Amino acid sequence: MLTPTTVILSFAAILLLLALFKPQAGRIVFGVFFLLMAWGVNFPMMLYDPSLYPMAGANSFIRLYRWFFTQVLALYPVPFILLLIGFETMIGVLVLCQERWVKLGLGLGALFCLGIAWIGSEGFWMPAVAIAPLVLLRKDFPQSVVALWKSRFRPANGVKVVLS
């Protein structure tokens, strides 16, 4: 049966397997995940109904979260959502960069996943997603995803391909 819990746990398991056995693919999936959450979920939800965000934290496990969502966020949901979109975009871009920027993005992404776990039942399983970026922190990523992409399509032996 397909439920939000099974989707999150399945994604977390796939992400962890990628992190362990195909770290380059794992970091790409994690970075793209954050970009998709920013622009494919949060941006449309902001346009559709920004009041969904304060309601999401109204049943938080932590009193401070409940207060923030119902008293502060409820007054200014759109600026908060724009900050959220910007933050998630930054994480996604950092993870797709290179060297220390990747590690910064992975660390922030893991912290973000742990932080939203306390919002309510929707985020309860997000610590499972946070495991993969923590595993990826042990790896080095000397090239950005753009550089990897370019090297894949660069002709071998320095031969230039001219299309006329």
pLDDT given at position 155: 65
DSSP of 84-112? HHHHHHHHHHHHHS-THHHHHHHHHHHHH
Whether the per-residue pLDDT at 160 is higher than 80: the answer is: no
Q: Identify which of 100, 124, 99 has the alpha carbon closest to the alpha carbon of residue 114.
A: 124
Q: What is the pLDDT of residues 47-87, one digit of tens each?
A: 999 999 898 888 898 999 999 999 999 999 999 999 999 99
Give residue limits of the domains in the chain. Answer: 4-145
Predicted TM-score (pTM) of this structure: 0.87
For residue 15, what pLDDT is reported?
Answer: 97
